[in-house]
Amino acid sequence: MKALYGRIQQLEQKLLQLLADHEQQKSTIQKLQQENEQLRQTMAMKDKALQRSSKQLGIDAISKQLGGTQGAEISKMLSNYIKDIDQCIAFFERCK
């Protein structure tokens, strides 16, 4: 009878340890999911910044080819259009 009681206590301790390990694993998973989401957001922001940079490089190339004040005016207009478009895209993304 004593052996059975001892075995039950061992099983209870193992069960408690498994439950504690399970809670720790759930906590780790939650932290990793949060970190993953933060990294996704950072990547999205960097991707948008890269797209803007490449657009700006294209605008700069066009304005250099046109040269003078005409190129600067067109460059400014294109930059304003792109900003407007980016604002529209951001608005539509918020509406989803």
What pLDDT does residue 67 have? 66
Q: Which pLDDT score is estimated for 26?
A: 95
**What is the DSSP annotation of 7-28?**
HHHHHHHHHHHHHHHHHHHHHH
- CA–CA–CA angle 37, 43, 49 (5° rounding): 140
> Which residues of the chain register pLDDT less than 50?
none
- Residue 29's pLDDT is what? 95
Domain membership of residue 51 as a residue range = 2-95
Residue closest to 83 by CA, chosen among 60, 55, 57, 41: 55
pLDDT at 86: 83
pLDDT score recorded for residue 22: 96
Closest Cα to residue 17, out of 25, 5, 28? 25
Give the number of domains in the chain: 1
What pLDDT does residue 62 have? 67
For residue 39, give the amino acid letter.
L
CA distances from 10 to 1, 3, 7, 15, 20 (A): 14, 11, 5, 9, 15
